[in-house]
Amino acid sequence: MIDRHRNQVANFLFYLEKAGIVSQLRGTTEGIRQLGKVEKTYLDNANLAYALSDSPPEIGNIRKTFFLSQMKVNNEVFASDKSDFTIGPYTFEVGGPNKQQKQIQGINNAYIVKDDIEYGHKNIIPLWHFGFHY
């Protein structure tokens, strides 16, 4: 659609990531395969979504962008097969205040990260807590 070779698009995204415009979320694949295996691409900062859009951005994407931008500073963050993110042995599912436990059932060290809540309980963590990580 953009009339460029696939390798050029990967190069463009690499340079956009180096410039701090986007973040590329990779899977947990090891070795050379990881270089070409980008699962998702997010804006580097949730504020960019508001600056670049004529309409309000999708709140689910804003939540995930915020979580990723805060956690990638001190951690290697990967895409999860069953949830949104994996950091070391921990799995995180990010959502709104009504997010349920379905997606992380049966996963050890799994947490629900909810927006629009004040405090957590058991394996539920408020999204705003991750702002302190930076």
pLDDT, tens digit (0-9, with 9 covering 90-100), for 30-42: 666 555 688 999 9
Q: How far is CA 20 from the centre of its chain?
A: 15
Low-confidence ranges of the chain (pLDDT < 50): none
Cα separation, 85 vs 73, whole angstroms: 14
Pair type for strands 110-114 and 90-95: parallel
Q: pTM (2 decimals)?
A: 0.90
Cα separation, 51 vs 112, whole angstroms: 28
Task: Find residue 25's DSSP bridge partners.
Answer: 40
Sign of CA pseudo-dihedral 43, 45, 49, 52: negative
Terminal-to-terminal C-alpha distance of the chain: 37
Task: Determine which helix (DSSP H) or strand (DSSP E) holds 112, and give its type and residue range.
Answer: strand 110-114
**Residue 41, Cβ neighbours under 10 Å: how many?**
12
